Amino acid sequence: MLEDAARYNALQDQQQVELEQFKMSAQELLDEFNRETNERKRKHQEDIDVQQSQIKALKEQIEIKMRDNEETMKQIKQDAEDEIRQIVQKNEHSLTQVKDMGLRSKADLQITKNKLADVQSEIETLNR
């Protein structure tokens, strides 16, 4: 019986050692899992931060481009309005010149008709 008691105590001691080894292994495994999980979380957060900063930069670039495009559109509209105004002024000036030339031509024609009438009347006077 003594042998059985000794064997029982040896098995209990062995069980206690194995339990301690199991607990240490389990703790090491848990620690490794936590380290890897934390590392992955950290990397993931870094990726998120990088992407958010890229998104912010892209949004700023979009805003800048929109302001530039808006300014360009204003300038194009202003240039178009200025060109239209210039064309209208040139057209009015040309129209005025054409009207003046028309009046001069009428006046020249009338003068020529009057001279012709005077010459005809002189010819008739001379013929009589």
E strands present in 9-109: none
Per-residue pLDDT reduced to its tens digit, 69-102: 999 999 999 999 999 999 999 999 999 999 999 9
pLDDT of residue 34: 97
Residue 33 CA to residue 26 CA, distance in Å, equals: 10
The predicted structure's pLDDT at residue 89: 96
Distance CA 106, CA 99 (A): 10
pTM score of the predicted model: 0.50
Predicted local distance difference test score (pLDDT) of residue 87: 97
Residues of the chain with pLDDT under 50: none
pLDDT at 126: 82
pLDDT at residue number 127: 84
In 3D space, the residue among 41, 45, 42, 63 whose CA is nearest the CA of residue 53 turns out to be: 45
Q: Which letter, b or e, does each residue of 24-61 get, where b requires 16 or more Cβ atoms within 10 Å of its Cβ?
A: eeeeeeeeeeeeeeeeeeeeeeeeeeeeeeeeeeeeee
Domain ranges of the chain: 1-91
